[in-house]
Structure 1
């Protein structure tokens, strides 16, 4: 799981034109504590929901993953 969080963190940085994002900033964007985010990245904690989401996304074709993620983002922006 830690590899997954490191990969995603790096992908978000790349998406933002290589701008480095601190763990504190990323945790704040996710609405969690920095300690929790650090534990995820180090593999000290493995959030079960994240694992299930990734496994479910892995069952989909690429274009469907994009469609689902965009819908999730829209739902999150309404909250």
Structure 2
């Protein structure tokens, strides 16, 4: 598994959730609080943030309901 595959899957999933509306790299990066260049590098595989792979592996060990609970807790930390 490549890191850029993870970002592409997640980006596409977010677009699907928004009724297929395309989301620009610039808009996605802004919503994540990072530069467009950084996000673009991640999506293209030019940069490989190791934490992302570890987080995805950890989430992969959880069942669906626990993933939802964990992500909701993480989102509350951002509030």
The within-5 A match list for 1:32-43 is 32-43=34-45
Bigger relative CO (Cα 8 Å, ≥ 6 apart): 2
Please report the TM-score for the alignment, with normalisation by the length of structure 2.
0.92
Aligned position for 2:65: 63
With normalisation by structure 1, the TM-score equals 0.92
Gaps of 5+ in 1: none
Instruction: Give the CA RMSD over aligned residues.
Output: 0.8
SS in 2 for 1:7: helix
Where 1:52 maps in the other structure, the secondary structure is helix
Provide the residue aligned with 1:31 in structure 2.
33
How far apart in 2 are the matches of 1:31 and 1:59? 27
Cα distance in 2, alignment partners of residues 10 and 27 from structure 1: 14
The number of equivalent residue pairs is 77
2:16 alignment counterpart: 14
**Stretches of structure 2 lacking an aligned partner (at least 5 in a row):** none
